[in-house]
Amino acid sequence: MVFTNVTPNHATDVSIPILASDYSIFDTAPGISQNKNNVRKLILPLPQGLVSLVPGYAVNGGPYVVALGSYDPLALANFTQEFGVPNPFNVIVQKTCKGALETGSALPSVLVTGGLYIRRADSLQAEFGHQISFYNTNRDEQLQHTYSLSDATVFMTVKGGKFNGKKLKLKAFLAQGWAQNQTESNWKAEADIFVMIPWGIDPFQKEEYLLIHIAINVEAGTSDPNCISLEMAYQKLGQAPTAYVNALKDDILSKLESGVSHLEGAIPELIYLYDFSGVNTVAPTNTVPADALRSPLETHSITYTNFDRQVNQYDSGTAFGLPVTPRPPKIGSAGGSACGPTSLNMALNVIELHQDPLLLYRRTVGANGFSFQDALDFLKGIRAFRSGSLIGGILPAAMKVTTIDTGPGESLTPGWAAIDTIALKKQPMVFRCSLPGGGHMILLVGKGHSQNVADLYGNNHSGDYYIFADPAGHYYANPNNAYTTISNLRARGEGANYGGWFAIYPIEDIRANLLRKQEGTNNPSSYQTLCALTIGQPFPGVRAEARGSSSGPAPHRQERFLSTATDVNPVNNPVTILVTDPQGRKTGVKPDGTIVNEIPNSNYIPEFEEEDGEDGVATIIQNGAKTIDLFAVAPGVYQVELTATNTGTYAFEWSQAGEIGTLPGSDFDFQDVDLGAQITYSITIAPNGGPNLQVSRIAGAIQMSWPTSAEGYSLQAADSLISPATWSALSAAVTITNDSNIVRIPLSSKNQFFRLSK
């Protein structure tokens, strides 16, 4: 055994598994296997002669593999591996002095420990200090280490999935320290390296980090220093213990800095594939029923048997007996057509209106897949689900449900602006895309930005992303084999631990996957479409809708709609709709049947048969409901003209949604008409004003309040309104109570005027 120099002559790199890639906090702590796909591991060069001291894990002398400890969400994935001299007698010096056999020895070792942990301190830096202090307090008083701390970069090579072979640069914190204690007969030298890598936010919005601790030790000793000196004891090391330890420490640091020592394995999904932070979305756990999750801080008995079925359409199909799909990509799979109802149910969970998955499937999925119109009927209750009767929906009367749907050749820009407005309010939207090639429904829950995403995807990606709950799986983790059950996704070891729940989808990629096929007399043609549904604050703009009706407006009911009505023909709509703006431009259907789209930022939306099936085909219902959406609306008088193409009863509704979620105006009307009749409504759209400033007198003070939803507004004061009035910001403190900004100022004898300014 030769230790002539610690720096050159390294053995085969040792491979230390640090985190099995198919584990997540929803697992049931299975036994650890050495045969996991793409296990994340640390590649660590070590000097010749140091081998694994864990029995049974050396493979032909290296590389060495050690199994992880049990998977506990509190001490998430602990690992340990020790390397040393397999036969200590190889480095023992023996000598007979005065008739006695004396011995001297110098035993080097390297211990690698660590794990994936949840931050408990106020910051990661404070947590790092806590971990270092913990190790130090367990050392001998004579061997307390002094540390230097710095920022660092750890390199990682991705294994498996779309990003196989991608080189990542992970931001890290690094600490290095050393200590020694020398007596006449003993010399201990120690050095260690701590590496903390922020690992992202887990679904419970807990900050996780990966900690790696590399401890280097040499202890030289002699039974009789007068017979065998310490120098003779460590002579086979080729260096004094302190020099050996520090040389190896510096060598490991150098190789970490250069990337020779690096991580490899499945992509760190909490950094690159998922956004569970809740900063840009509702809390992830709000999108599933309360019984689907239990925080890991509450119990060590980890059973989440009700989770997968709530966020994955294939798991839902098996669990709730959903019909099998006749369409690709999963022909014959239970729940293969359940992307729409699964997405919608997650949105309903946010407002605590969870539905039975099978009932929701039957109410919203037809022969060609999910139908937005059927979903609207089920939610709003204005028209009965595929029947002529009018009954209540499942939503409370005050809660709005609105949609966006663009047609061939229409600009998507105003629709994206409306969607981004709602996304920034953390309000989920059922969203249609064309992944992986046909119509597919996913839940858009927010919008974010990360330089990590830009670096990962490259090719002019900005790092801006939408956050989706994709019930089929994480498409961009592996586009060639993305959609299946969550357990199958985990088993692949490609970082898709959570399926598609709160998945990061680059904006540039998702905006390119909006194709829809339009049926015609010849071959279907494809066009880009933007289609979304949201519950709560409406998409900003003006909407006018005409549809068939058999009686008055539907009563709204608080209770859930659990009717078992069978499918019948939709209500016949006897009118077309045409909107004329203050400049005389028109959008909709003229009396002669010509479709026009002259008003900027407007969409004419006819009703589709089984509107957005997973095959991506949409067939217009000639006598179906007809809707016109206007975005970025100019103030003025608008004319809405209805022309009867049949005899019957129509219902007409219009609404205006402000930029801050207000409803400046809405109306509802229904009438009987004869063939050829024309009805005109005049609608005045007022300029978009700011929020109302409420003023009241309370206990010797003036109290002013305005809604917190009015972002960017501040309170200003002036002593006079005589031109030119001088307005200045009010310095009084703003408090928030019940979604209102509140300012109180003492009563004064002088006149003062107040306004909100943006």
**pLDDT at residue 503, as a whole number:** 96
Minimum mean pLDDT range among 15-19, 361-365, 655-659: 655-659
Q: d(Cα 630, Cα 578) in Å, to the nearest integer? A: 12
List for the chain the helix, strand, coil content (%; round to 5).
15, 35, 45
| Residue-by-residue DSSP string for 571-602 | PPP-EEEEEE-TTS-EEEE-TTS-EEE-STTE
**pLDDT at residue 378, as a whole number:** 83
Give 699's pLDDT tier (boundaries 50, 70, 90).
low
Q: What are the start-end ranges of the H helices in 204-276?
A: 230-233, 241-258, 269-272
Please tell me the pTM assigned to this model. 0.74
Which class for 67: exposed (0-12), middle (13-18), buried (19 or more C-beta within 10 A)? middle
Q: pLDDT tens, 546-599? A: 666 544 333 322 222 222 222 223 346 788 889 998 899 998 889 888 888 888
**575 phi, psi to nearest 5 deg:** -130, 155
Q: Which H or E run contains 452?
A: helix 451-457
Of residues 564 and 151, the one with the higher pLDDT is 151
**pLDDT at residue 1, as a whole number:** 35
| Residue-by-residue DSSP string for 283-317 | -GGGGS-GGG---TTT-S----TTTHHHH-HHHHH
Do residues 46 and 110 touch, judged by C-beta distance below 8 A? yes
Read off the amino acid at residue 394.
Answer: I
ω into 329 cis (within 30 of 0): yes
Q: d(Cα 112, Cα 17) in Å, to the nearest integer? A: 11
Q: What is the mean pLDDT of residues 254-275?
A: 91
**pLDDT at residue 346, as a whole number:** 96
Q: pLDDT tens, 427-475? A: 999 999 988 867 899 999 999 999 999 999 988 899 999 999 999 999 9
Beta sheet of 525-528, edge-to-edge order = 525-528, 515-518, 617-620, 608-609
Q: Over 80: is that where the pLDDT of 141 sits?
A: no
Pick the closest to residue 430 from 535, 307, 337 (CA basis): 535
Q: What is the mean pLDDT of residues 606-615?
A: 54
Pick the closest to residue 72 from 296, 303, 270 (CA basis): 296
Give 370's pLDDT tier (boundaries 50, 70, 90).
confident
Separation in Å, CA 608 to CA 378, 428, 573, 619:
16, 23, 13, 5
Separation in Å, CA 654 to CA 628, 665, 671, 685:
9, 8, 15, 11
Of residues 511 and 685, the one with the higher pLDDT is 511
In the chain, what percentage of residues exceed pLDDT 70?
75
Q: d(Cα 538, Cα 667) in Å, to the nearest integer? A: 15
Q: Which H or E run contains 503?
A: strand 503-506
Structure tokens at 338: 């359940």
Q: d(Cα 61, Cα 541) in Å, to the nearest integer? A: 70
Using the 8-state DSSP alphabet, how is residue 565 labeled? P
Do residues 443 and 347 touch, judged by C-beta distance below 8 A? yes
**pLDDT at residue 54, as a whole number:** 61
Read off the amino acid at residue 341.
Answer: P
Of residues 299 and 472, the one with the higher pLDDT is 472
**pLDDT at residue 429, as a whole number:** 96
Structure tokens at 4: 């002539």
Give 612's pLDDT tier (boundaries 50, 70, 90).
very low
Which class for 608: exposed (0-12), middle (13-18), buried (19 or more C-beta within 10 A)? buried
Give 171's pLDDT tier (boundaries 50, 70, 90).
very high
Q: d(Cα 367, Cα 361) in Å, to the nearest integer? A: 12
**pLDDT at residue 35, as a whole number:** 45
Q: Over 50: is that where the pLDDT of 70 sits?
A: no
Distance spanning both ends of the chain, measured CA to CA = 76
Minimum mean pLDDT range among 84-98, 260-274, 649-663: 649-663
Q: pLDDT tens, 90-139? A: 678 888 998 888 898 888 888 888 888 888 888 888 888 888 888 777 77
Using the 8-state DSSP alphabet, how is residue 10 labeled? B
**pLDDT at residue 161, as a whole number:** 87
